[in-house]
Amino acid sequence: FVHRPASTKYVLGIFQGPSASDATEPAFRLATALLSGRMHQTVREERGLSYAAYAPYYDRGVTAAGLYMSTTAPGTALGVVRTQVDSVRREPMLLGQMGFFTQQFVTQYIADNMTSSSQAEALARAALYLGDYRQAGQAMEALRHVSAGQVRGAAVRYLRHARFVYVGDTTRVTREAFANF
C-alpha cells in the first residue's frame, strides 16, 4: 500500500499458479485469458473505470496470473473485478463457447509469437520447464483439449489468495477491499 498523490491509481494483484510442467497449466492459462477478457469488458468497456484492465499471464518455472488496473476509482473497480473472478470460478463456459474461445486464444498466441526471438523463447521455456525443446509445439495443442470444467477447476484452485500492490491515493480505497480476494 503506497501513498502517491496522483489522479490515477495502480493496482496489481498476483495469483500463484501451477508449475509450468503441471497438467493443470493449460487450463490455468485459459482461465487467466478468460478472466482478462472479462476484466477488460466489464471494467474498461462497460464502466469506463480503467484505460488498462486485464489479467496478465506469467510463464515462468511457476506460473502466475495477475490482475492489473490503472483507475481513478480503485474501490469500485476492485468490486467489479472480484465479481469477474467469482464468475470464472463458478460458471463454466458452454461447450460451443469453449471451443471458439480456445481457438481464438491459440490463433492470437501464434500471431503474437511469430518472431524468431519469441520462437526461441518458447523453445527455451520448453527445454527448461518440460525437459525437451520439442515440447514447445505441444503447448497450443494441449490447450485445444482443455474442457470448460477443467478451466473452472483451475480457476477454483488457483484464482485465490492474491497478493496486491497498490500505488495511489490511499484514501480512495481501503485495505479490506483487497482482502476479499
pLDDT digits (tens, 9 = 90+) for 92-134: 888 778 889 999 998 998 888 889 999 999 899 889 988 999 9
Q: Kindly give, in sequence order, each residue whose CB lies less than 8 Å from that of residue 37, ignoring residues fewer than 6 positions away.
A: none
Tell me what percent of the residues of the chain surpass a pLDDT of 70.
100
Q: Pairing state of beta strands 163-168 and 2-3? A: parallel
- So what's the pLDDT on residue 161? 95
Q: Which residues of the chain have pLDDT under 50?
A: none
Question: pTM score, two decimals?
Answer: 0.91
Q: Where are the alpha helices (DSSP H) in 16-147?
A: 25-39, 74-90, 95-112, 116-125, 138-144
- How far apart are alpha carbons 135 and 156 in whole angstroms? 27
Distance between first and last Cα of the chain: 16
For residue 177, what is the enclosing H or E element? helix 176-179
